[in-house]
Amino acid sequence: MCIDEALLTSYMDGELGEPYRTQTEEHLAHCPACRARLDRLKAISKMLSRDDVDEVAVEKAKSETASLLERKFFSEDGRRPAFLRRRIEMGLGSMITAAAGLVVVFIGGFVLFGTSSEQTSEIIPSYTVQADTSNVHFVSTQDRGLDGYSLEEILSYLDSKGYDVDISIKGLQPIE
């Protein structure tokens, strides 16, 4: 009687205990049909093993991830962010509770030590600025600028103030 295929699978995987293993080996030695079935099973396994990861890529990934985890969890400067990270990673429920707590404290602060307008005015004296004719002074009250005077007027003004002004025109020699 030939071997059950499930038994062959276990035999191939090295999972068959005694005495079944020896019995299976003895049977395989003289049964070409069962050997062929075992070969077929091995072929499937071999085919699957062709689709394997690239060992070089695995080693690279392993060392990259190792140094990253080392930095994150086991280096001296890495401890702080890891600790912070652990604190930040909390469930949605506790996060909502924490947020609600903050809101309560914030509002509670106003209710207990709340701000009336008198208290505010004690701390910050009120100060308002309104621009009107009483506090805004125009720098110049005259409606006539320097452009409104002729050269003679300017010269006579300066002369009256005691300045001696000499004026010449470019490119012209004064008459001796």
173 binds another protein (CB under 8 A): no
Residue 77 as a binder of another protein (CB under 8 A): the answer is: no
Count CB-CB contacts under 10 A for residue 34. 19
CB of residue 70 to another protein, shortest distance in Å: 9
3-state SS assignment for residue 20: helix
28's CB contacts (< 8 A; 6+ apart) are 3, 34, 35, 38
The nearer residue to another protein, 2 or 62, going by C-beta atoms, is 62
With CB under 8 A as the contact rule, the residue among 22, 36, 45, 81 that binds another protein is: 45
Does 47 engage in binding with another protein (CB under 8 A)? yes
Binding mask 2-21 for another protein (x = CB under 8 A): ---xx--xx--xxx------
**Least Cβ distance, residue 100 to another protein (angstroms):** 26
Measured distance CA(20)–CA(176) in Å, rounded: 141
Residue in 20, 11, 16 with CA at minimum distance from that of residue 42: 11
Residue 117 binding another protein, by CB under 8 A: no
Query: Which among 74, 13, 2 is positioned nearest to 36, based on CA atoms?
Result: 2
The residue type found at 61 is: A
Among 18, 51, 118, 132, contact with another protein (rule: CB under 8 A): 51
Alpha-helix runs per DSSP H in 51-150:
55-69, 76-88, 92-112, 117-123
| 50 makes contact with another protein (CB under 8 A) | yes
Using the rule CB under 8 A, is 176 a contact of another protein? no
Q: By the criterion CB under 8 A, which residues form the site for another protein?
A: 5-6, 9-10, 13-15, 40-41, 43-54, 57-58, 61-62, 64-66, 68-69, 72-74, 85-86, 89
